Copies of this chain bind each other. A is one copy, B any other.
Amino acid sequence: MATLRDVARLAGVSIGTASSALNQGRKVKDITRRKVLEAASVLNYRPNGVARDLKTQRTDTIVVFLHDLAGPFYSELIRGIQSVADERGYATIISRGGVGRQIAWTRFVVEGRVDGAIVLDPTVPDEVIRSTACSTLPIVLLDRTLATPYCLHVAADHEDGAYQITKHLLLSGLRRIAFVSGPIDSHDSSLRFRGYHKALSEFGINIDETLVFRGDFTERSGLLAARAILSHENLPEGIFAANDEMALGVLSGCEASGIKVPDQVAVVGFDDIAIASYVRPALTTVRQPMYELGGVAARSLFRAIDGEQDVSSQVLPTTLVVRDSSKRPSVNDTPMAQSV
């Protein structure tokens, strides 16, 4: 591979001049620049990015850590991040979870091959983040909080979303509403439970422990929860699954047991994944503003990269999406959004 030295030699100038000629905005005689460009073209010269990064002490690259890529969910988030990064001329690289996560974390974050990181992956241990975060490499945490001065936080308002959707059921006249939680250590799940709890309280209803079930965010766990719920001596009127995958499982469970949704029991989820609008009955759920979340996260990150000190944490509102799975025949509810 031809290096700058080769180009300079062929063009008959010094390395410094060759460098200046190739990077515009430096004072170089027109004739000289032409000579250098010519030489570079002849040699098919490509600048070595690694050398440049070393010298300039910046990479103009940020990394996004995701747990998994499945779902337009993350796709939207990335689009939001990229739209901001593109504007600044930064490259955005995405890294998935899994075995290689550790390799990637070390390589990019710890060993400084990027200028900043955005993390939306509950499987990255707090410990790892805390030990890495320092003033030279800002990290934005999505949907998770961590007490360290070097991390910024951006999240959707899970609690409020859960509050809204529970209230939606309550306003439809339902009172006995079951909750299917995520894993015990899921921050999101507990926030959603809190919203559920808050809405019930407002209607003067106490949590009925026999109506709270534990899932693990998988469709299968939703199915199992449905079985448990439906074997309850007295059927609840509504089921709020802490995410859509589980809600799908609940729907299957109901179908299998011959329980009519929403006539006998309303089912709602959280996240608004793509399938939610395709399944029958279409699933009522809560949409997170993924694109905006990404944009806000990226903007915060860049502010930190620019050295701004106190970038504050941010919480973005969610949207209730009412579909068929919560439509009671006779009751007027007040949908805030409607979708296919």
Q: Which residues of A contact B (CB under 8 A)?
A: 1, 44, 46-54, 59-61, 63, 68-72, 74-75, 78-79, 82-83, 85-86, 89-96, 98-100, 103-104, 107-108, 110-113, 134, 136, 248, 274-275, 278-280
Q: What residue of chain B has the Cβ atom nearest to residue A277's Cβ?
A: B275
Q: Are A104 and B75 in contact (CB under 8 A)?
A: no
Q: Are A91 and B95 in contact (CB under 8 A)?
A: yes
Q: What residue of chain B has the Cβ atom nearest to residue A68's Cβ?
A: B75
Q: Give A287 Cβ to nearest chain B Cβ, in Å.
A: 16
Q: Are B86 and A108 in contact (CB under 8 A)?
A: no
If over half of A's interface residues share one DSSP class (helix, strand or loop), that class is named, otherwise mixed; here it is mixed
Q: Are A100 and B91 in contact (CB under 8 A)?
A: yes
Q: Are B112 and A50 in contact (CB under 8 A)?
A: yes
Chain B residues with Cβ below 8 Å from A48 are: 54, 111-112
In angstroms, Cα B92 to Cα A1, docked, is 24
Beyond the given A92-B100, A278-B278, please list 4 additional residue pairs across the A-B interface where CB-CB is below 8 A: A49-B113, A50-B53, A50-B111, A51-B54
> Given the interface contacts A50-B54, A53-B50, A85-B100, does A91 sit within 8 Å of B107 by beta carbon?
yes
Q: Give A251 Cβ to nearest chain B Cβ, in Å.
A: 10
